[in-house]
Amino acid sequence: MNVSLNWLSTHLDVAGKSIQEIDDLLTFAGVEVEGIEAKGVSSEKIVVAQVKEAVPHPNADRLKVTQVDCGEDGLRQIVCGAKNYKVGDKVPCALPGAALPGGFTIGETVMRKVESKGMLCASSEIGLPEGEDGLMILPEDAEIGKPVKEMFDSDTLFELEVTPNRPDLLSHYGMAREWAALLETPLKPLEIPERKRTGETAIKIESPDACPLYTAVRISGVTVKDSPAWLKERLEAIGLRPINNIVDITNYVLHEVGQPLHAFDCAKLTGGIVVRPAKEGEKFVALDESEHVLAPEDLVISDESGAALALGGVMGGLDSGVTETTTDVLLESAYFTPQGIRRTSRKTALSSDSSYRFERGVDPQGVLSASDFAVKLILELAGGTAAEATEVAGEAPVLVQPVKLDAAKLDQLMGGSISLDEAGAILTRLGLKDLGDGMWEVPSFRGDLLRHIDLVEEIARVHGLANVPSRFLGAFVPTSKVDAGYDADMMLRRRLAALGLYECQTIKLISDAQMIDALPLRPLMDGDVIRVALPLSEDHAVMRPSIVPGLVASAERNVRQQAKSLRFFEMGRVFRNAGGGKAKDQESDSLAILLSGPTAPAGWSADADAADLYDVKGLLAALLPGKAIKFQPRARDGFALACDVKAGEQNIGVFARLLPGRERALDFSDPVFVVELDLGKLRKLLTGTAHVEELPQFPGSSRDAAMNVSVATANADIEKVLEKCGEPLLVDFKCFDVFTDPTGEKLAADRKSVAYRFHYRAADKTLKQKDVDGAHAKVLEALTKKLGVEFR
Amino acid sequence: MKEQIPAIQTEALARIAEAADERSLEDVRVGVLGKKGTLTQAAAGMRDVPKEDKAAVGQLLNEARTAITAGIEEKKAALQALADEKALEGIDVTLPARELAGGGLHPLTLIKDEAIGILRRMGFSLAEGPEIEDEFHCFDALNTPEDHPARNEKDTFYFDSGKLLRTHTSSVQIRTMETAKPPIRVIAPGSAYRRDEIDATHLSVFNQLEGLFVAEDVSLPDLKGTLEYFFHELFGAETDVRFRPHFFPFTEPSFEIDVKLTIKGQAPRWIEVAGCGMVDPAVFESINKGRKDELFDPEKVTGFAFGMGLDRLAMIRWGIKDIRLLIENDVRFLKQFA
């Protein structure tokens, strides 16, 4: 909300308060000051100048060289591009040294080889409201050389954010009332003569819940015309555009006392006002020409013809408003309940200064006085005759009732930092009345004060947290499962960083196009993908079912920045429906890894190789020490080399390489390997209780063997045989060489030589050579039998 | 014999002196002290030495063996020293490193971990909740019914199911109180979502840290002490912290917290870092209704809650001007936090 300091000063004396003091006052009262703008001409060096001569610029068609009289000795030469003035006009001239809004200072310059010693200004260039195109033409009687500043009022405009619980502050009078309470300074009362009221009325309220009070005054014979200067200035000061005197008065009263009003053209009404629910499917064209289809929960103001004239409290209709030809007006002032206004405003996406106030709650006791005030102004500024009495239908709702301030609870919450007397003094300043026994009467404009705690809030707000002591205490609580998970996550993160990976954070909303890179733990079925209903853009339409697409996008961005070694990971939530959308939304946590390009930065000695699958495996093994990491091929659409990742026998995630075509499309020059792991399972692996294995007491013995097998034989097949061979002395085995010869010279092209080292050991004795030989022979025999390998 | 032995010794020592490498030194050893070495053969001639000379010749032999052996060892050491010296020669210590792959944690993780570290030390434990929430946990239970002006559906991502992406981590307050019982002292870091176009200061997905303390006799001094202490730990003990009255539907009284900080190249100014307040009794009443018990009787327990934007804290901490840097993952940016 915009508040003009000049306007506000009509209600209380703020002279002597600096802008900074006012800023602090508001800030600590809970009103956020979003901006402070000094209005008016700020520089003394902007003076009235008379144009004495204007000749075409020798080097520029659009410019003129003027000689102006600024009240100095001799004339001043200024180059100017405006066209709207004539010789003899008086205009503002910014002299060298003048600081203009927007932060630049005028100097002497040369424009296309012609000297220019200042600048002739438009109104908007010197901090005044936008005027006609071109220079601001000052009145003929303006005194040459006089600072323009002295001809216009200055003002300070506060841009304030009023919290939704304080609708009483949404007007200049309401704001002044608050300032007066905080500053303990008198508030000048509003002097509004009270008009006669009558219950004899043609107004029919058919929706008393949505509109418990509706008042109207008919004023005939008004002259609709421009508002007087003072009214225009008031409205312009807070950024409103003057329209005509009647509309301006309703706007003025709204911003003065906070009660929205509406003026209808009586010529467009048939009979009395009917406040009724909209009919199902009823059409309504609002003042802003938007068209709406209404429903019974919307409230319309209509007449006896049944036509909807206005959407009650939200916006007038296109055809019922006041125009230049209006002679008789009907002035509406009513109380609309917040819930209904909010529902309609939200549904129709129509929002106005009126709906903003009604949906927060206006003062029910202010409805009639605002009407009285507006009638007075209309008679003064537009003439005409008002009906003798204001028609009143319904009753002002009573929204406040006495509230008990519980002294013990106040003391507990405030930590004993304020006495009951001091607390009471604060409430009194805010307009509450002490009814005795801890009961307080709440003024009608403070509908937000309904409970003990609401009074405490007021006391705490005015007392200030600066005056409350600090206490450093807290209950002991057990750590949670989430704590354990967090610790495991941080350990993984630190390991990954130490292994040379950068952690990424990507947006959890991704595009459909990115779904091609999704590598969820289980393949997605139709309906598994979760979409937001109204995405902001196609780029953020889908809840990520996998982190991989985000990492691929991050890697791609880095490739564009010439990064070569791409080593990234990210942890976080992934989302999917389960079972083709049949089950409820599922959220789980994932760890994704992406490796591509050299495993280390290039240097002056040998360059590191581009990462391959075995680097990924090595990384996972280092990440989960002691867990046997295995890849088990399982095809995935859209990926190459896809495997389940296993830790021992447990499936913990998925590995794959992007399809080479996808890599090329994204301009990757090396293979891109991605992994998505189930973070929940990793946490369990890392937090399970481990028992220490005893160290071997007796030495073991190793034997090497190279086997000649078909190139098609997977290493996993060999390992499987070894794991199941049942030789108790075999405690470890490891592949240490794989040799192939595509030329077929040293080894048939369809064979490979796989060398293994086998380690034998007994827990209770040092093995004799023959024991080792015997065990080794059994192991080799098992391999021969199961896989038909030949040993070299 | 008496002449032969000193001659062998002299010659051997001369050859040792000449030996340029370990191999020629070994040749000398074999040629002199080996099975067929000159000194070994000379020793074999002892049996022909007259008895009266045996002692003298024996002594000569011993002296010669000792001297030659010592000579060889000494030369060996000298050669090794030379080789060692040579091995260290010509190494340009000013050549750049053979680099390992660099890695590091994301600044959001760093600031989150720091904040969590402080709060855990203060006795808070971690809690969490779903990011796809329902209106009840995100709004209704937080005293923000459908017709409340603070409830802004325009800024909320909805799903066709009627669920929504939580607009704040405050929903975790409700999730926690539904299942735990007082005393509750939890923090919940997590993502929240707002239907905002992404620009230099806004992300549609951002990160918050929520806190909740509910017990008997929790008061404004507790709220103030806790958050003052937290921000002093985070930004330094000398940092000014102020509490501005504010409004949140689910706390009363409510405050926003500013800290006075100097951002590089700017005058010190108040920067908003968090929101907080005493849990509104209406929130407790809603919890009791859902739990069907009176464990959160507002006559008996009180509490405070707070929430802060982690992205914002990261931007303040490191002077990050464009929030998008936090989601673009440019290695040149990430490197600076490694």
Question: Does A126 have pLDDT greater than 90?
Answer: no
AA letter at A534: L
The most confident of A35-39, A234-238, A441-445, A525-529, by mean pLDDT: A441-445
- CB nearest A557 (choices: B106, B158, B330): B330
- What Rg do the C-alpha atoms of chain B give, in angstroms? 41
Residues A361, A313: Cα–Cα separation, whole Å: 11
Residues A423, A426: Cα–Cα separation, whole Å: 5
Which of A45, A36, A233, A57 has its CA nearest to residue A121? A45
- For the segment B114-136, the average pLDDT, to the nearest whole number, is 96
AA letter at A405: L
Residue of B nearest to A415 (CA): B221
> In angstroms, how far is the first alpha carbon of chain A from the final one?
89
Residue B115 sits at the vertex; the CA angle it makes with B114 and B118, to the nearest 5 degrees, is 85
Q: How confident is the model at residue A584, as a pLDDT?
A: 59
A50, A144 in Cβ contact below 8 A?
yes
* More confident site: B47 or B109: B109
pLDDT, tens digit (0-9, with 9 covering 90-100), for A353-379: 999 999 999 999 999 999 999 999 999
Residues A574, A484: Cα–Cα separation, whole Å: 20
AA letter at A427: L
A482, B124 in Cβ contact below 8 A?
no
SS3 category, A289: coil
Structure tokens at B65: 């063996």
Residues B233, A182: Cα–Cα separation, whole Å: 34
CB contact under 8 A, A505 and B106: yes
pLDDT, tens digit (0-9, with 9 covering 90-100), for A67-93: 999 988 889 999 998 888 999 999 999
Instruction: Report CA A18 to chain centroid distance, whole Å.
Output: 33
Mutate to test the interface with B, among A344, A471, A510 (most CBs of B within 10 A): A471
Host H or E run for residue A386: strand A385-386
The CATH number assigned to the domain holding A447 equals 3.30.56.10
Is residue A190 situated within a structural domain? no
pTM: 0.86
Q: Model ipTM? A: 0.88
Which of A248, A293, A266, A240 has its CA nearest to residue A387? A266
Q: Are residues A302 and A441 in the same domain?
A: no
pLDDT band at B48 (very low <50, low <70, confident <90, very high): confident
Q: Are residues A95 and A171 in the same domain?
A: no
Residues B266, B314: Cα–Cα separation, whole Å: 17
Is residue A694 situated within a structural domain? no
AA letter at A107: G
- B171-179 helix and B281-291 helix, angle to the nearest 10 degrees: 50
Judged on CB neighbours under 10 Å (0-12, 13-18, 19+), A140 is exposed
The CATH number assigned to the domain holding A145 equals 2.40.50.140
Q: Are residues A555 and A572 in the same domain?
A: yes
Contact list in A for residue B130 (CB cut-off 8 A) is: 585, 587
B153, B123 in Cβ contact below 8 A?
no
Which of A530, A540, A550, A545 has its CA nearest to residue B198? A540
Q: Are residues A505 and A648 in the same domain?
A: yes
Residue of A nearest to B125 (CA): A479
Residues B322, A543: Cα–Cα separation, whole Å: 24
DSSP 8-state assignment for residue A598 = B
- For the segment B238-254, the average pLDDT, to the nearest whole number, is 95
- For the segment B204-224, the average pLDDT, to the nearest whole number, is 96
Q: Are residues A210 and A239 in the same domain?
A: yes
Q: Are residues A354 and A234 in the same domain?
A: yes
Task: Give the residue carrying structure tokens 């954010």.
Answer: A161
pLDDT band at A583 (very low <50, low <70, confident <90, very high): low
SS3 category, B56: helix
Residue B212 has phi, psi (to 5 degrees) of -150, 130
Which of A370, A371, A363 has its CA nearest to residue A444? A363
SS3 category, A495: helix
Residues 6+ apart with CB under 8 A from A389: A195, A196, A197, A198
CB contact under 8 A, A540 and B246: no
Q: How confident is the model at residue B270, as a pLDDT?
A: 92
Is residue A475 situated within a structural domain? no
Taking only residues 557 to 586 of chain A, the set having a beta carbon closer than 8 angstroms to any beta carbon of chain B reads 557-558, 561, 563, 565, 567-568, 572-573, 575, 585
Residues A478, B125: Cα–Cα separation, whole Å: 7
Which of A729, A724, A714 has its CA nearest to residue A630? A714
- CB nearest A496 (choices: B103, B196, B338): B103
The CB-side HSE value for A270 (13 A sphere, CA atoms) comes to: 6
A329-335 vs A196-198, strand pairing mode? unpaired
Alpha-carbon distance values, B106 to A504, B199, B327, B334 (Å): 6, 20, 10, 6
Domain of residue A20: give its range: 2-40+155-183
Q: What's the number of domains chain A is made of? A: 6
Q: How confident is the model at residue A582, as a pLDDT?
A: 57
Question: Does A607 have pLDDT greater than 90?
Answer: no
Residue A591 has phi, psi (to 5 degrees) of -120, 125
The CB-side HSE value for A416 (13 A sphere, CA atoms) comes to: 2
Residues shown for chain B: 338
Cis omega (within 30 of 0) for bond into B183? yes
Q: Which of A394, A411, A436 is the last residue of a domain?
A: A394
pLDDT, tens digit (0-9, with 9 covering 90-100), for A387-402: 999 999 999 999 999 9
The CB-side HSE value for B40 (13 A sphere, CA atoms) comes to: 11
Q: Are residues A647 and A510 in the same domain?
A: yes
Q: What are the beta bridge partners of residue B210? A: B188, B307
Alpha helices (H) in A63-191, listed in sequence order: 172-183
CB contact under 8 A, B147 and A343: yes
Residues 6+ apart with CB under 8 A from B64: B5, B6, B8, B9, B12, B39
* CA trace torsion B134, B137, B143, B146 (10° rounding): 0
DSSP structure string for A629-653: EEEEE---TTEEEEEEEEETTEEEE
Q: How confident is the model at residue B182, as a pLDDT?
A: 94
The CB-side HSE value for B123 (13 A sphere, CA atoms) comes to: 13
- CB nearest B280 (choices: A453, A537, A587): A453
Residues B164, A6: Cα–Cα separation, whole Å: 45
pLDDT, tens digit (0-9, with 9 covering 90-100), for A509-560: 999 999 999 999 999 888 889 999 888 889 999 999 999 999 999 999 999 9
pLDDT, tens digit (0-9, with 9 covering 90-100), for A473-496: 888 999 999 999 999 999 999 999
Our CA-based measurement puts residue B15 at a distance from the nearest CA of chain A, in whole angstroms, of 42
- What Rg do the C-alpha atoms of chain A give, in angstroms? 41
Q: Are residues A36 and A82 in the same domain?
A: no
Question: Does A315 have pLDDT greater than 90?
Answer: yes
Residue of A nearest to B304 (CA): A413
pLDDT band at A579 (very low <50, low <70, confident <90, very high): low
Q: Are residues A678 and A781 in the same domain?
A: no
Q: Are residues A736 and A677 in the same domain?
A: no
Sign of CA dihedral B151, B154, B157, B159: positive
Our CA-based measurement puts residue B160 at a distance from the nearest CA of chain A, in whole angstroms, of 6
CB contact under 8 A, A471 and B127: no
pLDDT band at B53 (very low <50, low <70, confident <90, very high): confident
Q: Are residues A279 and A209 in the same domain?
A: yes
Contact list in B for residue A457 (CB cut-off 8 A) is: 245, 252-254
Domains within chain B, CATH numbers bracketed: 4-88 (no CATH), 107-337 (3.30.930.10)
Our CA-based measurement puts residue A589 at a distance from the nearest CA of chain B, in whole angstroms, of 11
CB contact under 8 A, A28 and B245: yes
Task: Give the residue carrying structure tokens 């176009």.
Answer: B197
Structure tokens at B334: 């990430």
Cis omega (within 30 of 0) for bond into A469? no
A408 shares contact with chain B (CB less than 8 Å):
no
Q: Are residues A248 and A325 in the same domain?
A: yes
Mutate to test the interface with B, among A503, A544, A551 (most CBs of B within 10 A): A503
Residues B144, B152: Cα–Cα separation, whole Å: 10
SS3 category, A719: helix
Residues B82, B76: Cα–Cα separation, whole Å: 10
Cβ neighbours of A78 (radius 10 Å): 28
